[in-house]
Amino acid sequence: MSCVRMNPSVIQRSVSSAVFFAIGGLIATGAYAQAATSKTSPEGRPFIIAPTLEGMYICPTATADTQRVLNVEQANTACRNFKQVGSAAVNQLLDTLEPGGPKGKVQVGYTSTLQLLSLFHKTSEGWKIDSTRVDAFLQLIREVDRPVVVYLAADHFDSIAPLTEELAKDPRNLMQLSDGKPLELGYFGYQIRPWTLLTDPSIPVNKYRYEALDYVSKRILELPSNLQSRIVAITLLGEVHQMFPDFENGMGAFEKIRTTDYSPASVAGFQNWLEARYGTIEEFRRRTGLAYASFQDISAPSKDIRTEPLKNFGEHYDAYAGGTLPLAGWLWDPQNTVKRLDLYVDGIHTDTVSRGFNRLDVYRALEEVTSPNTGYRIDYDYSALRPGKHKAQIIAISGTGKSLIGETDFVVVPRDQSRISTLSPKSLRGLSKAKNALPGVRTYMDLPKSSPDIYYNPLARDWNTYRESEVYGILNTFYERALKAGLPKDKLYSHQIVPNVNSSWNADLFAAGSTLTGDTPWKQGLNMYGGATDSPWMHYFLAQRKIKDYGVPEFNPQQWKREGVHLAAMQSHLQAGARFISPYYFSVVPQRFKADVEHGVNRMELSPTNTKDGSDKFYRAIIEFAKR
């Protein structure tokens, strides 16, 4: 596959990013220190470095045919016809990373991706699985005597194949915006499809996803036991989450947001979910104060009260309607002057603010900032506040006392938009600004972007929770079907994005939080980019949820300013109990098939000559780490 045809979901998305998952205010102290120093690798199994490889199915015969084979797709097709794969190039690369084959407590393998919807081809009897594609996938496992992480992909990036063109024409297969239209999305030139999160097997896209999962599982289980043992993990489905416009840059949007899924079946599911939650419409009215005659009369919140007329206040929806106000920014403190950050609302201490979030955008923009983990954030629950004006202040506590990091006014507006008091809110006064009181500290508060007027709608909070349940539902269904197909439970991992580690993202856009807990039936596979690869916040996240024996299906520190960063990141996950990490990415695509165009994906190609994003440093670190 060409670089753009890879699963580019793994890139660091957007430079205005970050989301918060409410986890106390602890950073690299107690819980993190304990998690990072106690080795929990199950049964002493080796730690697997399983890089994502581009071009594994391109064979030498096709590469040599310069007259008839002109691009990657033609090469892949020709190699399937020749019953050849690129195992020689794969073995050569992996032997460079770990000479002499896999051995020791750290071993080099590879990740093999199979996009399930791409397995189908059209026949006179309809869409059937092209067995030659699965043959090539299994042939690679036979010919590369290395540990392998199998990635069975079927998310929105499984989108470039003849079958997907047909599926995209049927609205049942797609998540919808509130206007009933599906999103048209791209990612660095790669078309993606917002496939439904509903689990109904009669929905066409699900029929094919489930059929392919069953077929591939059967073929894997037919392998001899020595080949099956090479498979150390199977990651399922891909990064599943709700969708939003401007996928490349929109994850940090808080103004005029648009989300999914408002398809008729999803909204009906929401109504049923509400009935199960509240029992009776009378109880719903009592607890929410919203006047609806029945659950079937409730529409999913989708209208902004500022710009659209509402028939019922329950229709209001925006980034703050669920009852939380994000307060976030970044703080660079190379001398560790700041002991903690506190939130004060109306002059009263409210909570400690978490730190250590990924802010790769700050790292890129400011030469003196040598770590991406500069983000801070707290999601303040304002739902019980009285209507009126309020002030939030982020205060740094240091040896010299309290200093102001940032502040914002906000207005809690009653449902009827009646008049509120014009009195100014209380606040802490006489504070020095951090830039004056704390030499060497640089900081900026960038959320919220203005002094917002906010309206709490309990139905919007329910809608966000329900949207999370949809994300959990499709992943859980895929996991259960994988089990039923016979795939071993102890090898099944998710393949999920963790938006929470980026302090400027909007978590509600993704609604993936319920899939990221420590009590899921599957093992956690959590993708990490930038500072997330060795983040105090991420390590506390893992420790607080008791997540062990996890994997990192996509992994790239994207750093170049300090030596030792890549080795430290890999070591931290070995110590925390990870089964594998999958560095993103290496390429064995012959040079003649590569487009000479740089974009956000191929900056991360790991090679000794690519200095972008520290790719050369990561390359050398993998070779060094594999010696252990």
SS3 535: coil
d(CA 261, CA 256): 16
Strand partners, 378: 327
Residue 458 per-residue DSSP state: H
Do 80 and 116 form a contact (C-beta atoms < 8 A)? Answer: no
What is the structure's pLDDT at 508?
96
CA nearest 174: which of 204, 201, 145?
204
CB burial string 299-322: b at 16+ within 10 A, e below: bbbbbbbeeeeeebbbbbbbbbbb
- For residue 77, the one-letter residue type is T
pLDDT value of position 599: 63
In sequence order, what E strands does 319-473 have? 324-332, 338-345, 348-357, 375-381, 388-398, 401-412, 432-433, 442-447, 453-454
Q: At a CB cut-off of 8 Å and minimum separation 6, what does 432 contact?
A: 403, 404
* CA distance linking residue 253 with residue 510, whole number of Å: 11
Rounded Cα distance between 169 and 149, Å, is 33
Phi-psi region of 324 (alpha: psi -120 to 50; beta: other; left: phi over 0): beta
Rounded distance between C-alpha atoms, residue 386 and residue 615, angstroms: 51
Please provide the size of the chain in residues. Answer: 628
Q: What is the DSSP letter of 444?
A: E
In 458-602, where does DSSP find H-type helix?
458-484, 507-510, 536-544, 565-576
Query: Do 467 and 242 touch, CB atoms closer than 8 A?
Result: yes
Residue 340 is encoded by which pair of tokens? Answer: 């903690």
Q: If DSSP codes are grouped into helix, strand and coil, which group holds residue 77?
A: helix
Residue 339 is encoded by which pair of tokens?
């002991």
> How many helices and strands in the chain, by DSSP H and E?
17, 24
Token pair 């189908």 is found at 120
- The answer to whether the CB of 171 falls within 8 A of the CB of 141 is no
Paired tokens of 464: 């966000």
Give, in degrees to the nearest 5, the angle at Cα 370 between 626 and 12. 70
pLDDT score for 17: 31
Those residues whose C-beta lies under 8 Å from the C-beta of residue 568, and which sit 6 or more positions away, are: 534
Query: Which of 493, 567, 491, 506 lies closest to 533 in space, CA to CA?
Result: 567
Dihedral sign computed on CA atoms, order 132, 135, 137, 143: negative
The letter for the amino acid at 461 is R
Mean pLDDT by 10-residue block, N- to C-terminus, for the chain (628 residues)? 31 30 36 37 83 96 93 93 96 98 97 98 96 97 98 95 96 96 86 96 98 98 98 98 93 95 98 98 98 97 96 97 98 96 97 96 97 97 96 95 96 92 89 87 94 97 98 98 98 96 96 96 98 94 94 98 97 96 96 75 92 97 97
Q: How wide is the angle at C-alpha 460 spanned by C-alphas 454 and 461, nearest 5°?
A: 95
E strand residue ranges, 224-295: 231-237
Query: Residue 235: CA atoms inside 13 Å, Cβ hemisphere, count?
Result: 34
β-pairing verdict for 401-412 and 388-398: antiparallel
Report CA torsion sign: 160, 233, 199, 461: negative
Q: How far apart are CA 216 and CA 131, in angstroms?
A: 9
d(CA 325, CA 320): 6
Gap between the Cα atoms of 130 and 401, Å rounded:
68
CA–CA separation, 487 vs 481, rounded Å? 9
Backbone dihedral angles phi then psi of residue 118, each to the nearest 5 degrees: -80, -5
CB 344 within 8 A of CB 392: yes
Separation between Cα atoms, residue 477 and residue 473, nearest integer Å: 6
pLDDT at 436: 83
Give the pTM.
0.92
User: At residue 23, what are phi and psi to the nearest 5 degrees?
Assistant: -135, 85
Q: How far is CA 11 from CA 185, 407, 535, in A?
A: 16, 32, 17
SS3 category, 49: strand
628 Cβ contact list (under 8 Å, min separation 6): 104, 105, 106
As given in the structure block, the two tokens for residue 304 are 């902004």
As given in the structure block, the two tokens for residue 223 are: 């392998």
According to DSSP, the residues that pair with 581 across neighbouring strands are 49, 552
